[in-house]
Amino acid sequence: MTEAITPSPKPVAAAGPVSTRDRLLDAAARLFYEQGVHIGIDTLCRAAGVSKRSMYQLFDSKDELMAASLLERTAPSYQDALIPAADDNRPPRVRILHVFEQLEALEQRHNFHGCPFVAAAVEIKSPDHPASQVARRQKDKLTAFFQEEAEHGGADNPDQLARQLTFVFDGASARSVVQAQRLDGLAITTAATLLDAAGMAESGVAPTDLRSTARRPPGSCTPPVAVDARPAESVADQAGSQSAEMVRPSPGMDVK
């Protein structure tokens, strides 16, 4: 697994002094994830080393700060931890399962508190809250990633598969927190089962190859039926020739 995985947002690295806005965003992203979105402004400002007056000069409200911290800190960090790089040329199935492998690596860390976007939306409750809207867009991005990979992998119904995979991802994150138990591969195997059901290829097998292979019942020793790829006219000609051969009279036969 990649060592860069982190369940909590990483502060922005800066060449010079960190700005007041950056300090607020870093503190807000960390505290909202670790302690919840209802943490007070005084605690936030104290953690950031910023006065309340300075905070309100930069953000109109705590709600705006919350949304900005999710978008500018949590989202890039979480995406980097989960989504394969654009130049990762592994098969679509492997790229999808990578997300669930990273999720299970994240949840083994002591400071894992589930998906930060689901956690924020559940706590906030209002779907119209600016932070809830950010959270929803980020979840939509994950679903879009799944759908794009499913399309490339030849899934039967990419849209449905993508939504199912997001459902498993969010459910696995929630279960880990609620049950306080390790997933132990459950998220990975459940996602793999969905991929199998959708007809996506195993690693290293092209979707077209998989679908052109004849399927046999489990345990059957009967070889797959060969498909005649010749044009229909050629097959018909041979059939006619064979029929004529069958009715051709043998020497000495009295044909009337």
Closest-CA residue to 26 (of 58, 67, 72): 72
Closest-CA residue to 29 (of 3, 67, 82): 67
Question: Given a cut of 90, is residue 205 above it in pLDDT?
Answer: no
Domain ranges in the chain are 7-62, 83-211
Q: Would you state the pLDDT for residue 220? A: 39
Domain 83-211 has CATH 2.70.98.10: no
Q: Would you state the pLDDT for residue 1? A: 37
C-alpha span between 236 and 216 (Å, rounded)? 28
- Percentage of the chain lying above the pLDDT 70 cut: 72
AA letter at 9 = P
Tell me the pLDDT of the chain averaged across its residues.
Answer: 81
In terms of CATH architecture, what is 7-62? Orthogonal Bundle (1.10)
C-alpha span between 115 and 107 (Å, rounded)? 10
Q: What is the pLDDT of residues 120-162, one digit of tens each?
A: 999 999 999 999 999 999 999 999 999 999 999 999 999 999 9
The model's confidence at residue 203, banded by pLDDT at 50, 70 and 90, is: low
Q: What is the pLDDT of residues 237-253, one digit of tens each?
A: 544 444 444 444 444 44
Question: Given a cut of 90, is residue 13 above it in pLDDT?
Answer: no
Half-sphere CA count of 93, side-chain side, radius 13 A: 20
- The reported pTM is 0.73
Q: Would you state the pLDDT for residue 243? A: 43
Q: What is the pLDDT of residues 54-110, one digit of tens each?
A: 999 999 999 999 999 999 999 999 999 999 998 999 999 999 999 999 999 998 887
- Percentage of the chain lying above the pLDDT 90 cut: 67
Q: Assign 3-state DSSP to the chain and report helix, strand, coil percentages, each to 5.
A: 60, 0, 40
Helix (H) / strand (E) element for 87: namely none
